[in-house]
Every structure is written in structure tokens, then in C-alpha cells.
Amino acid sequence: MRERTEVEVSFELNGTPRHLRVDAHRTLLSVLRDHLGVLDVKEGCSEGVCGACTVLLDDRPVSSCLVLIPRIHGRRVTTLTGLAVEGKPHPLQEAFVRFGAVQCGFCTPGMILTACAYVRAHSGVTREALRRALAGNLCRCTGYVKILDAVEAYARSVRDGG
Amino acid sequence: MMNLRLIEPDLIVDLNALPLDYIHRVDGHLVLGALVRHHMLEEREEVRAYCPLLSEAATFIGNVRVRSLGTVGGSLAHADPAAELPMASLALDAEFTLQGPEGRRTLPAAAFFRGVFETALEPAEILTEVRVPIRGPREGWAVEEFSLRAGDFAIVAAAVRLRLGPDGRVELARISLAGVAAAPLRVPEAEDALVGTAPDPDRIERAGRRVAEGIQPESDVHASASYRRHLSYVLVRRGLRKAASRALGEGAA
């Protein structure tokens, strides 16, 4: 016997407070895309492997496909849109454009969020460390080199006080 | 588990509100609540300093998103035969606290893992706490893993712990493997052969061979039994070398 349970959740999405009543079994990914129309979060494998659905929960990257919606009550959720500074693209987004790190673009939001969280949390970032940090975000187009170039340049600019 | 359609539960009880994300140092042990996250093992200074084997094992777990949310208790209770923490807990002689309606009991890691996703947990019990000994002087460790891609399940992984006496001979040896049986296992014959000897390349080579002879891995779509056996030999040998050098010179990490 399966019952449907609805829950009330309050959380902060990209700086804006949200209050929802939704089925408790829904994932954060499904609520973001299907309920709230936040389409910069992508659905890839739905098994936590590909990284396309990455969001920041508080300040850590998580697979939104693996997070049941009751878990985000009282937390902060950041998607790519939330990185924008006063309506302008985040410097890491600009670096992705400058280095040609985007091809089809499907992995890009997760890639940028993961990289951004990593650079914020670590000083003295090396290319090897970035490779490890981004190992869980799959890109089927670029071969990763330009993505790493972009993130490395951004990390350097942060370090140098850019 | 649900996304992989491995389980389809009627009811889910969220344990996250329980106050179990503590890390304490008590009587030569590190005591970890079951809700300590994988990233805490990687990043928290007390774990890196007092139980570096756990920190190193955590770096191999899944990807950064998995490590953000995954818990120590969850990984142990899930008991995937290829997982890092069950294997690490064997090499560390960890003790688990299980709690249920009948009360609380403690169990050594070696008595906890029973098979693929099978443990000593009773249906109404949860794992609440893990105790691991703090790294002693002249104690070295290593975690080695082979997987097809970063973040994939291990084809084979090995965890090794070596403690040397003041004379440079092995006082304690632990070798545990994941991915070679239905549950993580130790290889006591290889451990015993190291005790009392100096961990030179020759002894280490022989220990690696003993490990390969002492296990009965199975073939599956990912790897044949003989390939797993070979990997076990290579990873254990590599791990023992690293553990020995870490035991000899503290900074040789």
C-alpha cells in the first residue's frame, strides 16, 4: 500500500525565499525543472553519476536527482542562474566563453557550479586538483582541456585578487 | 538505490535530524557518528591527523557530490562489496555500535559484513557509531584502488596498515580487499607472514603473492577472476610499499 505524502518545504533558491507544498517523494531536480521551471539544471543520467543536475546545497555540490525534496527544508539552493552578479554572468561563466569551454552546453551548468564551489573552498588550486574535483562531471564534447583551461584561469584570477 | 531501481520502499525514514555527525577523540580512538559525511573524512583535520587511512579511503568514494551527502554509517550499512569504507573498517579493526529496540550492542567490523548488501544489522537496528584506533607511532597506511574511470566502483581496492616496532620489524599488519568477494575481506595468511619481519621489497612481494593465492574472486562483466587476482597482488604490493615507507619516515607521504 503506497500513500502519497505531501510536505511543505521552505528554502532559498538563488537568493529568493520559496515556499512549496509538493509530494514528498519528488527529487529536488524534478521540483526545480517541472515545478519551478528552473531549466538551467539539466537531467542527464538520473543516477548521480554524470553531474549535469549539479546544484549547490548550501555551499556544496550535490546531485539534485539524488536529493529528496524534504531534505532541502531550511537550506540554500544555488543553480547556475544564482551565480550571476547583478545580472551579469559570473567571471567563471565568462572564462568558459573566452576559452571555448562550451560546446553543446549540457554539462556546463554543473561543471561551472562544481568548479566554482571548489575554487571558493580551496586556495592554491593546481590543475591536478581541478581534474580530481571535476572528475564527477562528464562532458561528451570538449575533451575537458578547454574546461580545465577556463577554470584554471579563473582560479588564478581569484588568487591574484581578480 | 531508488534511482537505480534497486529498492522501491513504501516508507522512508530520514535519519538526518539525529545528532550523529560528531567526531570525538576518546581513549586512543576516533569515534565517528554514523552521519559523518564522506567529505568530513577527507577534510577534517582530526581525521587526517589521527586516522589518515580513513581520509585516504574517502577520496576514492564516488564523486564530489556523493561525498557531500554520503555518510559513513550509510556506506557501512549498505555494504557494497566494492565500497571503500567497509574495506577500510576491516583494515582499521573498527568497531560498530548498533542500536535497536532491544538496546545497543557493539560488533567488530569483521563480524558485521555478511555478503552483498548483507550485514549483521537486525531489521529494526541502525548503525549509530564507528570507533577506529588512532594511528600510532611507526604506523603506515595506504589505500589503493583500480577502477575503469575515476568515481566508478572499484574493480579491486586494497587497504593496508603496517605498524613497526622500534627494531623496524612488523608488529601488526592488516590487509583488506574490496571487489574480490561478496563482502570485503582480510587476508590473514599474508598478514601473519609479515609479522616479525622487516618489510623489505622481497617480503612485500611475497605478501602480495600470498594475497593473490589466498582469495577466490569471481568473474563478471567488469573483470575476470584472474584479472582480479592479479590486481589484488599489484595493489597490495603497492600499498605495502607505501605503508612501509610511511611507517619508517613520517613525512614520506
Q: Which chain A residues are within 8 Å of B59, Cβ to Cβ?
A: 132
A128 and A104 inside one domain? yes
A128 found inside a domain: yes
| Chain A contact residues (CB < 8 Å to B) | 1-2, 46-49, 51, 54, 57, 60-63, 65-68, 70-71, 114, 118, 132-133, 135-137
B5 found inside a domain: no
Q: Could you tell me how far CA B64 lies from the centroid of its own chain? A: 19
ipTM: 0.92
Alpha carbon dihedral B112, B114, B119, B122, in 10-degree steps, equals -100
A67 and A109 inside one domain? no
CA–CA dist B86, B61 (Å, integer)? 12
CATH number at residue A143: 1.10.150.120
B88 and B158 inside one domain? no
Q: Are strands B156-164 and B170-178 parallel, antiparallel or unpaired?
A: antiparallel
Question: In this structure, are residues A33 and A24 in contact, taking their beta carbons and an 8 Å threshold?
Answer: no
B122 and B162 inside one domain? no
- Sequence-distant (≥ 6) Cβ neighbours of residue A73 within 8 angstroms: A7, A9, A10, A11
Span B146-159, pLDDT tens digits: 999 888 899 999 99
Q: B4 CB near a chain A CB, below 8 Å?
A: yes
Q: How far apart are the first and last CA of chain B?
A: 36
B144 found inside a domain: yes
Closest CA to B243 of B172, B146, B166: B172
A40 and A92 inside one domain? no
Instruction: Write out chain B's pLDDT in tens, 253 residues.
Output: 888 888 888 888 999 999 999 999 999 999 999 999 999 999 999 999 999 999 999 999 999 999 999 999 999 999 999 999 999 999 999 999 999 999 999 999 999 999 999 999 999 999 999 999 999 999 999 999 999 988 889 999 999 999 999 999 999 999 999 999 999 999 999 999 999 999 999 999 999 999 999 999 999 999 999 999 999 999 999 999 999 999 998 544 4
Residue B151: its pLDDT value, please?
Answer: 84
Q: Flag if A133 and B64 touch (Cβ within 8 Å).
A: yes
User: In Å, how far is A74's CA from the nearest CA of chain B?
Assistant: 12
Q: Flag if B64 and A118 touch (Cβ within 8 Å).
A: yes
User: In Å, how far is A50's CA from the nearest CA of chain B?
Assistant: 10
Residue B253: its pLDDT value, please?
Answer: 43
Cell of B95: 568497531
A141 found inside a domain: yes
Q: How many domains does chain B have?
A: 2
Please give the residue of chain A at the shortest CA–CA distance from B62.
Answer: A136
Q: What percent of chain A has pLDDT over 70?
A: 98
Q: Which chain A residues are within 8 Å of B69, Cβ to Cβ?
A: 57, 62, 66-67
CATH number at residue B152: 3.30.390.50
- State mean pLDDT over A135-140: 96
Residue A107: exposure state from Cβ atoms within 10 A (0-12, 13-18, ≥19):
buried
In the block, cell 553531474 appears at A51
Q: Which of A27, A28, A42, A62 to mutate to test the interface with B (most CBs of B within 10 A)?
A: A62
Q: How many domains does chain A have?
A: 2
Q: Which residues in chain B belong to E strands, given as ranges? A: 23-26, 29-33, 95-100, 103-108, 113-115, 118-119, 126-133, 139-146, 156-164, 170-178, 185-186
CATH number at residue A20: 3.10.20.30
Cβ–Cβ pairs < 8 A, chains A and B:
55
B188 or A125: whose pLDDT is higher?
Answer: B188
- How long a stretch of residues is chain B? 253
B169 and B95 inside one domain? no
- Sequence-distant (≥ 6) Cβ neighbours of residue B191 within 8 angstroms: B173, B174, B175
Cα atoms in the 13 Å half-sphere on the side-chain side of A124: 0
Q: B27 CB near a chain A CB, below 8 Å?
A: no
Q: B15 CB near a chain A CB, below 8 Å?
A: no
Helix (H, G, I), strand (E, B) or coil at A21: strand
Domain range for residue A53?
A: 6-82
Residue A146 Cα distances to A124, B163, B220, angstroms? 20, 45, 36
B105 and B156 inside one domain? no
Q: Flag if B3 and A61 touch (Cβ within 8 Å).
A: no
Question: In this structure, are residues A67 and A27 in contact, taking their beta carbons and an 8 Å threshold?
Answer: yes
Domain range for residue B93?
A: 23-133
B36 found inside a domain: yes
A78 and A25 inside one domain? yes
Please give the residue of chain A at the shortest CA–CA distance from B37.
Answer: A60
CA–CA dist A12, B163 (Å, integer)? 50
A18 found inside a domain: yes
B123 and B178 inside one domain? no
Cell of B186: 582480510
A19 and A78 inside one domain? yes
CA–CA dist B171, B76 (Å, integer)? 28
CATH number at residue B124: 3.30.465.10
Span A32-87, pLDDT tens digits: 999 999 999 999 999 999 999 999 999 999 999 999 999 999 999 999 999 998 88
Q: Which of A4, A50, A66, A116 to mutate to test the interface with B (most CBs of B within 10 A)?
A: A66
Cell of B230: 592479479
DSSP character at residue B18: S
User: In Å, how far is B56's CA from the nearest CA of chain A?
Assistant: 14
Residue B247: its pLDDT value, please?
Answer: 96
Element (H, E) at A10: strand A6-13
Report residue A2's pLDDT band, with 50, 70 and 90 as the boundaries: low
Q: Flag if B65 and A47 touch (Cβ within 8 Å).
A: no
A1 found inside a domain: no
A54 and A31 inside one domain? yes
A44 found inside a domain: yes
A89 and A155 inside one domain? yes
Pick B65's closest partner by Cβ from A1, A61, A70.
Answer: A61
Q: B69 CB near a chain A CB, below 8 Å?
A: yes
In the block, cell 594511528 appears at B135
Boundary of a domain, candidates B86, B113, B133 = B133
A102 and A133 inside one domain? yes
Q: Which chain A residues are within 8 Å of B12, Cβ to Cβ?
A: 68
A69 and A11 inside one domain? yes
The reported pTM is 0.93
B17 found inside a domain: no
Residue B252: its pLDDT value, please?
Answer: 43
